[in-house]
Amino acid sequence: MEAALDLIVPILAATLRVATPLILAALAGLFAERSGVVDVGLEGKMLAGAFAAAATAAVTGDVWLGLGAAILASSALALLHAFACVTLRGSQVVSGMAINVLAAGLTATLALAWFRQGGQTPALPPDGRFQPIALPGAQWIAEVPLLGRLVVGVLGGHTAPVYLALLLVPLAAFVLWRTRFGLRLRACGEAPGAVDAAGVSVAKLRYAGVMIAGLLCGTAGATISTAQGAAFSTDMTAGRGFIALAALILANWKPWPVLWTCLLFGLLDAVAIRLQGVPVPGLGVPFPVQAVQALPYILTVILLAGFVGRAVAPRAVGIPYVKER
């Protein structure tokens, strides 16, 4: 039993760490797409956030200022997205992709120009990074046989963004399903005409959805460069924005399922890291890591093909709203 715990506890702890930016980014996508705006620019906003956080933290030595800068940078891109999609009624997918390309080029160029380290930022001092937080009362919980070790090992010793992401899931569920604002936001994604007829501004709500996405993406980016990493380097988000999008689709655009799918993708990643090079019992050959790495995408494709349940997108997502005369 102890041996099993030795294996399971680090994998589950790694799952939480790896899943954190995914949860934040997927929740960002949730708010944007529930309001009716497709957001394929999660990746770019995260990258901008990662750069702003690492650059600010490197200069000021303060991780919270870094987080603030990340949110600002990501929100600026979100505002651009909202302006293009809501005010100008442009193509939402194109605008999202443009943001990805813009962020990839801009972060690399600015990093090169400001820090002269080939698109990297200087390594952060301890105060410039999110440090692990000890679980309050950890020593008493750990006394509980088996379960205690599991709880402390898995939930304890993470950085602030991990706990923040876990708290944001119920908050997002509450806001979207239990408040007037959330109800109207979701209505914008399903039947904007009805919202408009009720005398509520569709444009304002969509702006709000996209801006909340900007805020969350910035936090996700700061997590990557100042909690998980200790510097920014070019393209360091490495496709996590697209994985988050896949998680959002797999979760059917609902907050709690978003948590589960992100944790599932995180678990797959953690298991892939652990099992790499380990011979599969009975097979004799090492574990094919590529297969595990491809699983999130394969699962999404299978879902979209309708094999396991159905992914139902908000009905009006991707369609610019034109006020009826």
Interface residues toward another protein, by CB under 8 A? 10, 14, 17-18, 108, 112, 116-120, 123, 224, 228-231, 233-236, 238-239, 269-270, 273-274, 276-277, 289-290, 293
Q: Is the CB of 11 or the CB of 138 nearer to another protein?
A: 11
Q: Is the CB of 28 or the CB of 108 nearer to another protein?
A: 108
Whole-angstrom distance, CA of residue 203 vs CA of residue 102:
24
The residue to which tokens 């301890």 are assigned: 126
Q: Is the CB of 11 or the CB of 93 nearer to another protein?
A: 11
Task: Using alpha carbons, select from 95, 100, 98 the residue that is nearest to residue 85.
Answer: 95
Least distance between another protein and beta carbon 115 (Å): 9
Least distance between another protein and beta carbon 305 (Å): 25
User: 3-class SS at 248?
Assistant: helix
- The set of residues, in sequence order, having a beta carbon less than 8 Å from that of 65 and lying 6+ positions away, is 56, 57
Strand partners, 286: 279
User: 3-class SS at 287?
Assistant: strand
Q: Is the CB of 10 or the CB of 257 nearer to another protein?
A: 10
Whole-angstrom distance, CA of residue 99 vs CA of residue 79:
11
Least distance between another protein and beta carbon 274 (Å): 6
Least distance between another protein and beta carbon 213 (Å): 22
Beta strands in the chain (DSSP E): none
User: 3-class SS at 289?
Assistant: helix
Least distance between another protein and beta carbon 105 (Å): 9
Q: Is the CB of 100 or the CB of 233 nearer to another protein?
A: 233
For residue 153, the tally of other CB atoms under 10 A from its CB is 19
Q: Is the CB of 221 or the CB of 255 nearer to another protein?
A: 221
Least distance between another protein and beta carbon 138 (Å): 18
Least distance between another protein and beta carbon 66 (Å): 16
Whole-angstrom distance, CA of residue 252 vs CA of residue 247:
9
The residue to which tokens 């999110």 are assigned: 130
Written as six digits, the tokens of 83 are 């302006």
What's the first-to-final CA gap in the chain, in angstroms? 69
Whole-angstrom distance, CA of residue 162 vs CA of residue 145:
25
Q: Is the CB of 112 or the CB of 203 nearer to another protein?
A: 112
Q: Can you say how many angstroms the Cα of residue 34 is from the centroid of all Cα atoms in its chain?
A: 16
- The set of residues, in sequence order, having a beta carbon less than 8 Å from that of 201 and lying 6+ positions away, is none
Least distance between another protein and beta carbon 10 (Å): 4
Q: Is the CB of 92 or the CB of 233 nearer to another protein?
A: 233
